[in-house]
């Protein structure tokens, strides 16, 4: 399977703990995106990478959230000191360079905060 891969698929943790998610994009895609999605809503943009450079971060994103894409390949999203409101599906997508390209999504990591 050469699609976008996300790990883990599910994460349950206690409030206050740190969590880290991983995304492996389609290999030839240089753009990578992170989204958060809650039940009954569309995905909410979190951040965007072009190769290893983080070019945009949502103003709604707390400082507890950080993302990296160290070698322009896989990416990690870390949430520090998790809160109840962080419970959501975290989606990763990738796309080739160029306007109007479709974003290809992974199946997400579902985070549940106890």
Partner 1 sequence: KNQVEQSPQSLIILEGKNCTLQCNYTVSPFSNLRWYKQDTGRGPVSLTIMTFSENTKSNGRYTATLDADTKQSSLHITASQLSDSASYICVVGPMDSNYQLIWGAGTKLIIKP
User: Which window, 13-21, 68-76, 77-85, 100-108, contacts partner 1 (CB under 8 A)?
Assistant: 100-108
CB closer to partner 1, 9 vs 64: 9
Site for partner 1 in 3-22 (CB under 8 A): 4
- What secondary structure does DSSP assign to the chain, as a single string? --S-EEE-SEEEE-TT--EEEEEE--TT--EEEEEEE-TTS--EEEEEEETTEEEEE-TT--TTEEEE-TTSS-EEEEE-S--GGG-EEEEEEEE-SSTTPPPEE---EEEEE-
Among 24, 44, 52, 68, binds partner 1 (CB under 8 A): 44
Site for partner 1 in 58-97 (CB under 8 A): 91, 93
Chain residues in the site for partner 1 (CB under 8 A): 4, 31, 33, 40-45, 48, 55-56, 91, 93, 99-100, 102-108, 110
């Amino acid at each position: 399977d050469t699609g976008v891969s996300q790990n883990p698929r599910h994460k349950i943790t206690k409030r206050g703990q740190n969590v880290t998610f991983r995304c492996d994009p389609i290999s030839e895609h240089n753009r990578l995106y992170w989204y958060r999605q809650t039940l009954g809503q569309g995905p909410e943009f979190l951040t965007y990478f072009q190769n290893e450079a983080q070019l945009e971060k949502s103003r709604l994103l707390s400082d507890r959230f950080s993302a990296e894409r160290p070698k322009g390949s896989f990416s990690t999203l870390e949430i520090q000191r998790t809160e109840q409101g962080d419970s959501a599906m975290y989606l990763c997508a990738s796309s080739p360079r160029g306007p109007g390209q479709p974003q290809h999504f992974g199946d997400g990591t579902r985070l549940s905060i106890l």
